[in-house]
Structure 1
Amino acid sequence: MPFESTGCNPGIQATKQAAWEWAADNDLVLSPVAQKKMIRTRPELWISLIFPAASQEHLDLFCQWLFWAFLVDDEFDDGPAGRDPHVCEEAIARLVDVLDGTSAPNGPMEHALDGLMVRTCEGRSLRWVRQFRRDTVGWLWTYYAEAVDRAAGHVPSTADFVKHRRDSVAMQPFLDLHEITAGIDLPESARSLPAYIALRNAVADHSGLCNDICSFEKEAMLGYEHNTVRLIQRDRGGTLQEAVDEAGIWLARIADRVQRAEKELVEEIEAARIDGPARAALERCVQDYRGLVRGDFDYHARAERYTRPDLMEVDEQHSLSRNFAA
């Protein structure tokens, strides 16, 4: 890992308490198994490592987004919705309608999403809201793609899955949230710079592969094939450890891509003669994204969701949880 740690936000314990209180206030009831899993997941740790300098207000908001996202992830990865494309499609479509403001929320998850969107988008530019909406919707629909794959008995190629994982890891929306705590608002021209796109993609790819390396044991127990390590093993025909080793080499190469994109972005800023707030915003991204990559890496080495697959319990659900009930 070539990037140095930027530390952990001192507000971590306060944001943990705020997240559980927010869940209770929004009637997000977790089963005993789901509650233990969320405790092991430690969303407050990830958000505090990713945003070590965020204000308490921003840290709390971002952690509540992450808490909500982990509920989504567990519902569609481990629950019955992930095995029934029709149920999955209907649930995600409702969430997207709430996100777009075209449908009144029903059920705790939709009401929680509605509240998060109102708080998040207040004072943000239309261009930022569009970007955040695209990235969040893109992430949500990856669960439907995986549900259809499972129902059809399909396993994606490694190359196709790498592209899919860029959205499914959900790092892109949090790169958007970074702009809030950084006090910046990238113009469309800056978002369109090839090197900026490459930088964001490399950060997301690093997070996705790091997550796959750390979660392949848990996912193998569930028969979950949408994991880069599992796909490498299938393609290469070697042992699982050989696949893990190969994935580690890929991870180092992605870190190199981050550094290369940083340099190219500096060159493109000069070539395009970008100055003023747009230049300052891009330079802030270059400055902070390394810390995001390192924070994400450190989180996966510390959260029991990934370090203790032996603690995994299967929550025997036969329908959507009550949090998703309309």
Structure 2
Amino acid sequence: MSQIALPKFHMPFRSAGCNPGIEETRQATWEWAESHDLVLSPTARKKMIRTRPELWISLIFPTASQQHLDLFCQWLFWAFLVDDEFDDGPAGRDPRMCETAIERLVDVLDGGPPRGPMERALAGLRDRTYLDRSTGWVRQFRRDTVAWLWTYYAEAVQRAAGQVLSRADFVKHRRDSVAMQPFLDLHEITAGIDLPESARSLPAYIALRNAVTDHSGLCNDICSFEKEALLGYEHNAVRIIQRDHGFTLQEAVDEAGKQLGETAERVRSAERELIEQMAAAGIEGPTRTALEQCVRDYRGLVRGDFDYHARAERYTRPDLVEVDERKTLSQFFAA
């Protein structure tokens, strides 16, 4: 697989650069993890260093304040731990164990008492994030975060049943499983906006969010298919395209690259439609300004996510993956 060439792709959106607080955020995030007893094994620690969560956050939120950058990076660090535990750990292959772990996390997100280290870390993130946010925003963030968590259960059940998704069904699943939607919600915090329900319900705004999210999921799958193949993980667009079309692996990667370009065009199309729908709905004032802010910032977010996947060793060096010494769910979620 090392001879597979990644597709050439023209990125239509300009880079907004990297947040200058990246190094401070990196240090603050590791200190936060240690203070919440999220002590990683040497192998898991090495993997997280290669993942560089501070780089992704700094690329997609280049103008965020240090306070927001730190908070968002801690959310991402926590999310990467969850992802690795469910993808590679025992709960990812045991639906009942997976169900129990997710129910406990959702309960904490809804204000329930935490028990293990991951839950205590989540409770702290929850309290800091919900502070001064509207009921509507909290409802949206909660929906997006819970939808992401339950995708791990869906994958565990499908894996246990020996089933695989079609490409069309996988696109819908990946829209939640890539976990981009909660970070689009967090964007409102650093942008200083809080969209009303009417704005969130605009078809073009929904289409824009979906296109941004689909781009991230497909980009991630293209860059991680080798690593995931080594782990026997089949919930990957490249693997599904290869299976559904009978392609060689290179042909599947090339087709995924073509679809990535089409998804970027969907972002632009949704932007145009959003402008038209705001005019049709008579949306003016602060709400229009907030939506226009989303259009501008989402472009930079797509570009930042794209650049991150080209720079983080988690994706650029899949040959370094190690699978034998990871912490298990029982260690992170123990009461």
TM-score by length of 1: 0.99
2:101 is matched with: 91
1:277 is matched with: 286
Compared CA separation, residues 235 and 249, structure 1 to 2 (3 A): same
2:149 is matched with: 140
Q: Give the % identical residues.
A: 80
Equivalent-residue separation in structure 2 for 1:76 and 1:255 (angstroms):
29
Return the letter of the residue paired with 2:90: P
Unaligned runs of 5+ in 1: none
How far did residue 315 of structure 1 move?
3.2
- What is the aligned counterpart of 1:158 among 150, 157, 167? 167
SS where residue 314 of structure 1 aligns?
A: coil
The Cα offsets for residues 70-91 of structure 1, whole Å up to 9 and x where unpaired, read as: 0000000011110000000000
Return the letter of the residue paired with 1:320: L
2:62 is matched with: 52
Q: Which runs of structure 2 are paired with 1:101-140 in the superposition (5 Å)? A: 101=111, 103-140=112-149
Are the equivalent residues in 2 in contact too, given 1:50–1:295 (CA < 8 A)?
yes
Are the equivalent residues in 1 in contact too, given 2:98–2:153 (CA < 8 A)?
yes
2:207 is matched with: 198
2:270 is matched with: 261
Equivalent-residue separation in structure 2 for 1:192 and 1:236 (angstroms):
36
Equivalent-residue separation in structure 2 for 1:318 and 1:270 (angstroms):
52
2:23 is matched with: 13
1:30 is matched with: 40
1:231 is matched with: 240
Compared CA separation, residues 51 and 159, structure 1 to 2 (3 A): same
The Cα offsets for residues 47-69 of structure 1, whole Å up to 9 and x where unpaired, read as: 00000000000000000000000
Is structure 2 residue 12 aligned with structure 1 residue 2? yes
Are the equivalent residues in 2 in contact too, given 1:80–1:318 (CA < 8 A)?
no
Equivalent-residue separation in structure 1 for 2:225 and 2:47 (angstroms):
16
The Cα offsets for residues 239-283 of structure 1, whole Å up to 9 and x where unpaired, read as: 101000000000000000000000000011111010111111101
Equivalent-residue separation in structure 2 for 1:121 and 1:206 (angstroms):
28
Equivalent-residue separation in structure 2 for 1:223 and 1:217 (angstroms):
10
How far did residue 317 of structure 1 move?
5.6
Is structure 2 residue 297 aligned with structure 1 residue 288? yes
Are the equivalent residues in 2 in contact too, given 1:132–1:173 (CA < 8 A)?
yes
SS where residue 165 of structure 2 aligns?
A: coil
Compared CA separation, residues 179 and 60, structure 1 to 2 (3 A): same
How far did residue 29 of structure 1 move?
1.1
How far did residue 316 of structure 1 move?
4.4
Is structure 2 residue 52 aligned with structure 1 residue 42? yes
Are the equivalent residues in 2 in contact too, given 1:162–1:205 (CA < 8 A)?
yes
Structure 1: 4+ residue segments shifted above 3 A? 315-319
Please provide the CA RMSD for this pair. 0.9
Return the letter of the residue paired with 1:148: V
TM-score by length of 2: 0.96
Deviates more, 1:26-35 or 1:311-320: 311-320
Are the equivalent residues in 1 in contact too, given 2:41–2:327 (CA < 8 A)?
no
Equivalent-residue separation in structure 1 for 2:290 and 2:148 (angstroms):
25
Is structure 2 residue 206 aligned with structure 1 residue 222? no
Return the letter of the residue paired with 1:173: P
Equivalent-residue separation in structure 2 for 1:24 and 1:317 (angstroms):
17
Is structure 2 residue 146 aligned with structure 1 residue 168? no
Is structure 2 residue 76 aligned with structure 1 residue 66? yes
1:308 is matched with: 317
Are the equivalent residues in 1 in contact too, given 2:29–2:74 (CA < 8 A)?
yes
Compared CA separation, residues 12 and 122, structure 1 to 2 (3 A): same
SS where residue 282 of structure 2 aligns?
A: coil
2:193 is matched with: 184
Equivalent-residue separation in structure 2 for 1:255 and 1:296 (angstroms):
12
Are the equivalent residues in 2 in contact too, given 1:80–1:317 (CA < 8 A)?
no
SS where residue 315 of structure 1 aligns?
A: coil
1:75 is matched with: 85
Compared CA separation, residues 24 and 139, structure 1 to 2 (3 A): same
Equivalent-residue separation in structure 2 for 1:288 and 1:165 (angstroms):
22
SS where residue 329 of structure 2 aligns?
A: coil
